[in-house]
Structures are given as C-alpha cells and as structure tokens.
C-alpha cells in the first residue's frame, strides 16, 4: 500500500476517528489483561450486585467483582475470538469464491452451486448448526462462526472476481502467459480488494456480535473465562436492579464493532498493490519452415474454425468454418456487421474462448504450432512472446491498480528473463517507440493518468515488448475520436513496417480496414463470404453483402438530400442458421438456389475468394455496366 494513500486515508475524518478508536480497542486488548486482571477477578462478598459508585463505576457482579475492569479485561478474548473466526471465514470464503478461476469452469460451477445453497441459510442458523457439531466452548465457537461467515464472503468474492475476469486486461494477461494463480493474485484480487476488505472488517464486527450471542446462550466462552457476551448474559440477570452491568459490555461490543466497520471503510480507500516479482522463463519461438500446403512465411493458419456455445434450444455456432492465412508482415482486415463472428474469431485465435464455449478447427496454427494441441504452458509462452492483442476499450485494457511501466515490464520479466531494472528500461523504450511523450515519467503513472489514445498506444507498446509476429487488434479505434483514431492506425502500420509484424485488424468500419490493410475478409453470419485485396474493394467486390457494406458508407459524392443507404432486413440469428446462403433473405439477387444451398467459398487463381452463387454474374454485370458507361 502506498504511503501517500495511507496518509490520505488517515487524514479523512472517518479514517482518523476509526483508526483512533480501533487503536484504542487493540491497545486495551493488549494491556488490560496485564494491568487489571487482579482487580477484575478480585471477589468481594461484601459488595455483591452493587450499583454504580465511585469505587465501582459500573457496579459489581454476583461475586462482588468490579464490572468495569472485567469489561476492560474481556476486550482481549472478545477481539481475539472475533478475529480468529473472521480469519477462518475470510479464508474459506476466498477459497470458495475464487474456485471458478482456480479450478476451471466445470469444478467452479459445482462450488458455485454449493455456495449458493449455503447462502440461502441464515448466518445465525448456520453458526448454531456448526456450534452443535464442533461442540460448546471457544474451540467450537470460533470455527462455527467462521464457517457461518464464509458463504456470504464467498458469494461476494465470486461476483467480484467474475466481473473483473471479464475485463480486457485479464484477457491481455492471459495472452501474456500469466497462469491461473498469478492471474488471480496479481490482476484479479487487487481489483476486488476494496469491497473484500470492507466486508472482512464488517464480518469482524459481526463476529464480535455473534460470539457475544453464542456466549450469551452458553455455547461460547465458558467460565472461568469471560468475554463481553458472557458478561452481557450475567448482567442481564440483574438488568432491573442495576442496568450498568449489562450496559457496559453492550457499549463495548457496539464501539468495537463500529471501530472495525469504520476502519474497514477507511482502509478500503487505501488498498493498493504489492505483487511478487515474476520469475523468468525462456522460450524460443519455433522456426518457420515450409509446412504442409502452406508458404514458409505464414504466421497464422486457420482452417475450418468453428466456435460454438450451448444454447437454450441446442448448441449455437456463431463462427462456422472460417479459413484464412496471414503471412509475415501482412495486414488483413476482418469486417462485418455486429454479431458476424469477427471478435469470436479473434478470441479463438488468441485462445481466449472460455467454457462453455467450444473451439474446433481442422487447423489453427500460429508460427507452425498447432494451438489446439499444444500444451498450456508451451502455448502461453508462444503467445506471450510472439502474439499481441489490442482491445477495443483502452479504459479496461490495463490493470487500474498497477503502473503502466510495471505492466509492460511483466511481459519482459516473464518471457525474456530480464531483471526488474532491465524490464522497466525496455518498457520505457517501448513506450517511446509507440510515441508516448516523456516515456520515463509516464511509465511510472497509472492507467487513469493516460488519455484514451495514449492508453491504446501503450497497449500496442505492450504488444511489442516481445518480438511479436502477429498483432490482433479488435476494434482498436472505436472508442477514440477521429484524430486519435488516425494516430493509432498509423502507429499500427509503423509497427508492422518496422518489425514485419502481421496485423489482423477487426473492424465494423470497412473504410478504415480498406485504408490500413492489404486484404479484407468480409464476414457474415459466422462465415467468410468474401476475401479480396483492399485496393479492389470499390472496383472488384463480387459479394452482394460486401457491396451493400460499401454502399452504406457515405462519401463526398453522396447526395445529402437522400436518406443514407442501409442494408435491408436483420442480420442472421446464430441460433437459427438458415438452410441456404445466410445473406439470401436480405439479398436482391437471391433465387431458389440461394435459399436451398449454402454457396462454398470458392477461390480464383489469384487468391480472391467469394461465397455467392451469383458472384460470376455480378462481376459480368459490372463489366457490362462499365463498358456501357465507357461507350456513353
């Protein structure tokens, strides 16, 4: 935790008073038994059950012992028991709550179901149930209250962890090869720390009350020991004769409980991040040689890629047989309407499709390595060094609790065996390379101190920490304004030119893709429907969908008096794939053949591919139109 944040918390009125009261409680817990045990235990049969007086501020109990000193001395046992029970509850809750991340989706679902059932039981009922199992006394009470606290804590942890696990920086860490445990400790838990700490301290306050309750019922602390709950039970017997005997332990429980809660609120704001150093691991990407049916410089080969999910009415397959290859230094764009399967294709390449999603491919090779068959560790190393992903939203691409330089350095420390200093120097160098001004100072800043465009550039910088052969950029400029968009796209082009990096640019904007890429893959309803050189987009597109996409983009010649062109109809529903061509219901050229059979993705001799029964006719019609235009 950073000093400045601590001092900021302690300067706030709530933080300062909470810290003062809690310190008082803890000092009492340490000192009171040492200083006042004698007075608290001194029996005086001449002063039984007396009210408040100068000699005994809170009166005496049934053996004439001083209640005020007994309450002070009981602080230690009460706090100790509450903290022990909370520790058990927090530990068990954290283990249960993080199980889905640690154990994987299937085992995680089972644990989640168990937690959901346990949460349905009232805490007090659970505590009494466990107290009966573990037995009467402190030895049984502590685990009973701890385990009764655990389900609530586990539920909160699960929810928070699930939220953070879906963010881009966690996906980026996965691509960087970070394992499950490290992912949890370094990227997930620090971002859910605040509510967990607050909940833990509130649990400590509740455990105080719960233990008081158990002792009051005779199930907790047993004589001759005493905690506040036991003193409260004894005091209640004489409530009408002298209420101070019950009031004193009650006030103690309330004050200590409040102190824990307020202190939790205060330190939650100061939660920072301390993470262990990353061990180095070396990996040499496999040399690219000639492979079966592929040119030697192919970086990524995808053949027959399917991505499916279980749906309410059977499996849904939003990506249905996508095939393409990317050569070293090549920039390929993937365009299509929302829901066409662009992002799922990218995520499948990055190995980021989570359970219950299923990825199948006849071939999914990155640098010659079959990703679906390669072991997890080797795959992580390969992707961590040679693959980079730039996500759409720069606001969620970085871990907000870590400085930018540190996040970049993690890649170099993990995969290139660099020391902390070397890795940081490399991070600064890479930030400079992606034109982040004052890179050395900026590397020490947190993501929120970067603008959106700068964060996106830093993300690209993170991608080039290793020696990437491929950068997948999924809508990298959608969240940016137009000027910054252009800078980021230019940067991607520069990185590609400088290091011969292949780029797979996913965008719904066919114009952007046409400007940046050499080739364009047009996707519709989970399939590639056309693959053509970007330079020929406006002149040689043969698929009616590609043409409709182009026609929907206004240009300088568009008549502003007329409504903008749109593609009629709705995109295909992946849960109900049509029998024939998926675009047929929206296509002006569709006929009986289109609605009965899905056209194959046919290649011509020059590497262009199109999936349309009428592609040839459309090309001829164009030729005729051009010829007619020329004659006129």
Ligand X SMILES: Nc1ncnc2c1ncn2[C@@H]1O[C@H](COP(=O)(O)OP(=O)(O)OP(=O)(O)O)[C@@H](O)[C@H]1O
Q: Min. distance of Cβ 191 from ligand X in angstroms?
A: 22
Least gap, CB of 467 to ligand X (angstroms): 28
Given the structure tokens 């929120």, which residue do they identify?
448
Burial status of residue 275 (CB atoms within 10 A of its CB: 0-12, 13-18, 19 or more): middle
Residue with Cβ nearer ligand X (65 or 543): 543
| Paired residues of 359 in beta bridges | 307
Q: Does 343 bind ligand X (CB under 6 A)?
A: yes
539: Cβ contacts below 8 Å, ≥ 6 apart: none
Binds ligand X by CB under 6 A, chosen from 108, 140, 341, 384: 341
- Minimum CB separation of residue 338 from ligand X in Å reads 3
Residue whose tokens read 């000699």: 55
Does position 109 interact with ligand X (CB under 6 A)? The reply is no
Which CB sits closer to ligand X, 335 or 412?
335
Stretch binding ligand X (CB under 6 A), from 88-96, 219-227, 332-340, 425-433: 332-340
Q: Is 574 in the site for ligand X (CB under 6 A)?
A: yes
For residue 168, the minimal CB distance to ligand X (Å) is 13
Report the residue from 97, 151, 339, 405 that binds ligand X according to the rule CB under 6 A. Answer: 339
Closest approach, Cβ 546 to ligand X, in A, equals 15
CB of 319 to ligand X, least distance (A): 7
Least gap, CB of 339 to ligand X (angstroms): 4
Task: Please tell me the distance from the alpha carbon of residue 464 to that of residue 435, in angstroms, as a whole number.
Answer: 13
Q: With binding defined as CB under 6 A, does residue 336 bind ligand X?
A: yes
Judged by beta carbon, residue 218 or residue 315, the one nearer ligand X is 315
**Cβ proximity of 175 and 192 under 8 Å:** no
Specify the stretch interacting with ligand X by CB under 6 A; choose among 20-28, 333-341, 409-417, 439-447. 333-341
Helix (H, G, I), strand (E, B) or coil at 481: coil
Tokens representing 86?
């909370």
446 binds ligand X (CB under 6 A): no
Q: How far apart are the first and last CA of the chain?
A: 77
Distance, in Å, from the CA atom of 474 to the CA atom of 444, rounded to the nearest integer, reads: 27
Pick the closer one to ligand X by CB: 140 or 476: 476
Q: Between residues 147 and 172, which has the closer beta carbon with respect to ligand X?
A: 172
Q: How far apart are CB 504 and ligand X at their closest, in Å?
A: 13
CA-to-CA separations, 500 to 235, 299, 405, 429, 471, in angstroms, rounded: 81, 11, 25, 19, 11
Stretch 171-210 residues interacting with ligand X (CB under 6 A):
none
Decide: 132 and 124 in contact? Cβ < 8 Å: no
Instruction: With contacts defined by CB under 6 A, name the span among 83-91, 102-110, 338-346, 446-454 that binds ligand X.
Output: 338-346
Q: Which is nearer to ligand X, 157 or 317 (CB)?
A: 317
Which stretch, 50-58, 72-80, 334-342, 421-429, contacts ligand X (CB under 6 A)? 334-342
> In this chain, which of 77, 127, 231, 344 binds ligand X, going by CB under 6 A?
344
Give 70 or 342: the residue with its C-beta nearer to ligand X: 342
Site mask for ligand X (CB under 6 A), range 285-314, x = bound: ------------------------x-----
CB atoms within 10 A of CB 183: 18
Give me the least distance between CB of 26 and ligand X, in Å please: 48
Binding status of residue 351 toward ligand X by CB under 6 A: no
Spell out, one character per residue from 492 to 531, where the chain touches ligand X: x when CB under 6 A holds, - when not. Answer: ----------------x-----------------------
Q: Measuring CA to CA, which residue among 213, 62, 37, 46 is closest to residue 125?
A: 213
Whose tokens are 């279980």? That residue is: 310
CA distance linking residue 376 with residue 379, whole number of Å: 5
Of the candidates 543, 532, 538, 552, the one whose C-alpha atom is nearest the C-alpha of residue 617 is 543
For residues 234 and 337, which CB has a smaller minimum distance to ligand X in the complex? Answer: 337
User: Cβ of residue 573: shortest distance to ligand X, in angstroms?
Assistant: 8
- The reply on whether position 476 binds ligand X by CB under 6 A is no
Count of Cβ atoms closer than 10 Å to residue 286 Cβ: 13
Q: Is the dihedral of CA 446, 451, 455, 458 positive or negative?
A: negative
Which residues from 353-372 bind ligand X, rule CB under 6 A? Answer: 357
Q: Which segment (69-77, 109-117, 341-349, 597-605) binds ligand X by CB under 6 A?
A: 341-349
**For ligand X, which is the closer residue by CB, 466 or 526?**
526
For residue 258 the two structure tokens come to 């409040």
- DSSP string of 302-321? EEEEEEEE--TTS-EEEEEE
Q: What are phi and psi of 88, to 5 degrees?
A: -65, -45
Helical segments of 321-451, H only:
342-349, 376-386, 404-416, 420-433, 439-442
Query: Given 3-state DSSP classes, what are the helix, strand and coil percentages for the chain, each rounded to the nearest 5?
Result: 55, 10, 35
What does the DSSP 8-state code read for residue 471?
A: E
Q: How far is CA 628 from CA 197, 323, 588, 622, in A?
A: 75, 37, 22, 10
Cis check: omega of the bond before 615, within 30 degrees of 0: no
Size of the site for ligand X (CB under 6 A): 14
Q: Distance of CA 490 to CAs 119, 165, 249, Å?
A: 53, 31, 70
Q: Which is nearer to ligand X, 227 or 531 (CB)?
A: 531
252: tokens are: 């103690």
Burial of 180 (0-12, 13-18, 19+ CB in 10 A): middle
* Residue with Cβ nearer ligand X (24 or 357): 357
Residue 262: count of CB within 10 angstroms of its CB: 19
Closest approach of Cβ 332 to ligand X, in Å? 15
* Residue choice 174, 182, 320, 342 for contact with ligand X (CB under 6 A): 342
Q: Is 333 in the site for ligand X (CB under 6 A)?
A: no
Of 131 and 525, the one with the shorter C-beta distance to ligand X is 525
Task: Give 293 or 315: the residue with its C-beta nearer to ligand X.
Answer: 315
| Interface residue list for ligand X (CB under 6 A) | 309, 316, 318, 336, 338-344, 357, 508, 574
């Amino acid at each position: 935790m950073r000093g400045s944040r601590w001092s900021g918390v302690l300067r706030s009125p709530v933080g300062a008073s909470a810290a003062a009261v809690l310190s008082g409680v803890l000092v009492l817990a340490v000192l009171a038994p040492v200083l006042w045990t004698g007075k608290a235990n001194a029996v005086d049969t001449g002063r039984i059950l007396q009210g408040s007086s100068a000699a005994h501020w809170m009166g005496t109990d049934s053996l004439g012992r001083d209640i005020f000193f007994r309450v002070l001395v009981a602080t230690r046992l009460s706090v100790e028991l509450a903290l022990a029970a909370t520790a058990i509850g927090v530990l068990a809750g954290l283990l249960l709550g993080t199980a889905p991340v640690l154990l994987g989706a299937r085992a995680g679902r089972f644990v989640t179901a168990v937690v959901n059932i346990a949460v349905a039981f009232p805490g007090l009922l659970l505590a009494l149930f466990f107290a009966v199992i573990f037995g009467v006394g402190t030895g049984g009470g502590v685990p009973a209250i701890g385990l009764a606290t655990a389900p609530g804590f586990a539920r909160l942890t699960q929810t928070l962890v699930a939220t953070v696990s879906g963010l881009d920086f966690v996906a980026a860490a996965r691509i960087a090869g970070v394992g499950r445990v490290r992912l949890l400790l370094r990227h997930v838990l620090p971002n859910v720390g605040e509510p967990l700490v607050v909940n833990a301290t509130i649990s400590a306050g509740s455990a105080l009350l719960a233990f008081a309750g158990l002792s009051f019922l005779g199930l907790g602390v047993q004589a001759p020991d005493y905690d506040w709950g036991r003193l409260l039970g004894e005091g209640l017997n004489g409530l009408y004769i002298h209420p101070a005997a019950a009031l004193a332990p009650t006030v103690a429980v309330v004050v200590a409980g409040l102190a824990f809660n307020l202190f939790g609120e205060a330190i939650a704001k100061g939660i920072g991040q301390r993470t262990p150093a990353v061990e180095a691991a070396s990996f040499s990407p496999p040399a690219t040689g000639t492979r079966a049916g592929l040119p030697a410089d192919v970086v990524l080969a995808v053949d027959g890629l399917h991505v499916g999910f279980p749906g309410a009415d059977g499996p849904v397959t939003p990506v249905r047989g996508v095939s393409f290859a990317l050569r070293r230094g090549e920039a390929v764009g993937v365009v299509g309407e929302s829901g066409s399967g662009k992002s799922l294709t990218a995520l499948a390449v990055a190995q980021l499709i989570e359970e219950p999603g299923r990825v199948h491919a006849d071939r999914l090779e990155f640098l010659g390595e079959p990703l679906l068959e390669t072991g997890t560790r080797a795959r992580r190393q390969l992707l961590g060094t040679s693959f980079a992903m730039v996500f759409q939203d720069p606001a969620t691409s970085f871990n907000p609790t870590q400085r930018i330089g540190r996040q970049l350095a993690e890649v170099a420390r993990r995969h290139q065996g660099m020391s902390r200093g070397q890795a940081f120097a490399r991070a600064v160098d890479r930030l400079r390379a992606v034109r982040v001004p004052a890179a050395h100072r900026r590397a020490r800043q947190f993501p929120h101190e970067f603008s959106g465009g700068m964060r996106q550039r830093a993300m690209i910088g993170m991608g080039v920490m290793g020696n990437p052969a491929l950068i997948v950029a999924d809508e990298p400029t959608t969240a940016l304004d137009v000027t910054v968009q252009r800078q980021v796209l230019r940067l991607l082009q520069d990185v590609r030119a400088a290091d011969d990096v292949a780029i797979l640019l996913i965008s719904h904007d066919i114009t952007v893709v046409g400007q940046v890429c050499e080739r364009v893959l047009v996707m519709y309803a989970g399939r590639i429907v056309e693959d053509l050189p970007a330079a020929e987009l406006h002149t040689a597109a043969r698929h009616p969908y590609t043409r409709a996409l182009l026609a929907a983009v206004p240009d300088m010649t568009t008549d502003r008096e007329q409504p903008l062109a749109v593609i009629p109809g709705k995109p295909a529903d992946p849960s109900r794939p049509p029998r024939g061509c998926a675009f047929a219901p929206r296509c002006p050229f569709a006929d009986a053949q289109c609605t009965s059979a899905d056209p194959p993705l046919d290649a011509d001799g020059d590497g262009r591919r199109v999936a349309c029964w009428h592609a040839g006719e459309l090309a001829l019609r164009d030729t005729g139109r051009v010829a007619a235009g020329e004659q006129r």
